[in-house]
Amino acid sequence: MQILLALASLSGNTREVARAVRARCEAAGHALTWLETDIQSLAEVAPDPRRYDLFLLGSWTDNAGRTPAEMKRFIAELVAAMGKPPRVAVFGTGETQWGEEYFCGAVQRIATFFNSPFPRLSIEQMPHGVRDALAITTWTDKVLADCKKLSHADHHRHVA
C-alpha cells in the first residue's frame, strides 16, 4: 500500500512513536511518505494525496485536549485537496498529568473528525520499554490488516 504518515511533534515524543510505526510499515513491505506538519505542507510533500491508500496521523496534544495548530493546518489542507479520506488511523502522545479527561485529546478529536474505522493509539510521553514497543507494533499491524480488509470490501462494492 501507499501510506502517508503526517505528524506533529513539539519535543520528539510523537516523532519517536512515528518512527516505530514507519519501521513496522516498511518492514511489512509498504511504501511510506513522511510529512512533518510544522515545517512541511501537503502540497510540497504529496501534491496528489488521492494516491494514498492509508493516512496515518500522529499528534501531540495541546492545552485541554486540543489538536495543535500545525496539525489543524495540515488537516485543513488535506480536506481541501480531497475531502475526508475514508482510511485515516490516528496515534499520538500526551500526559495524564494534564487531566485524565484531556489525555491524548487530539488523538480522539482527529479520529472522530475523520470517523476513523481504526483503533486509536495513545502513548504516555516518550515511548519506552517493551510494553510501549509492543503497543506500537500491535496497533500498526492491526491498522494494516484492517486497511487491507476495507480495501477489499471497497473493491467488491465497486465491481458489484
Ligand X SMILES: Cc1cc2nc3c(=O)[nH]c(=O)nc-3n(C[C@H](O)[C@H](O)[C@H](O)COP(=O)(O)O)c2cc1C
The nearest distance, CB 40 to ligand X, in angstroms, is 16
Specify the residue, 60 or 147, whose C-beta has the smaller distance to ligand X.
60
Residues that bind ligand X (CB under 6 A): 9-15, 60-65, 93-95, 98, 102-105, 125
Q: How far is the CB of 154 from ligand X (least distance, A)?
A: 32
DSSP for residue 26: H
DSSP structure string for 56-123: EEEEE-BGGGBPPHHHHHHHHHHHHHHS--S-EEEEEEE-GGG-GGGTTHHHHHHHHHTT--S--EEE
Q: Tell the smallest beta-carbon distance from residue 151 to ligand X (Å).
A: 30
Question: Which position's Cβ is nearest ligand X?
Answer: 94
Residue 89 or 147: the one with the smaller Cβ distance to ligand X is 89
d(CA 36, CA 59): 10
**What is the rounded (10 degree) CA torsion for 101, 102, 103, 107?**
120
CB of 60 or CB of 139, closer to ligand X: 60
**Least distance from ligand X to the Cβ atom of residue 148, Å:** 28
Name which of 52 and 103 has its Cβ closer to ligand X. 103
Question: Which residues neighbour 66 within 8 Å (Cβ) at sequence distance 6 or greater?
Answer: 105, 106, 109
Cα 6 vs. chain centroid, distance in angstroms? 7
Question: What is the smallest separation between the CB atom of 32 and ligand X, expressed in angstroms?
Answer: 18
The answer to whether 13 and 93 are in contact (CB under 8 A) is yes
Judged by beta carbon, residue 106 or residue 143, the one nearer ligand X is 106
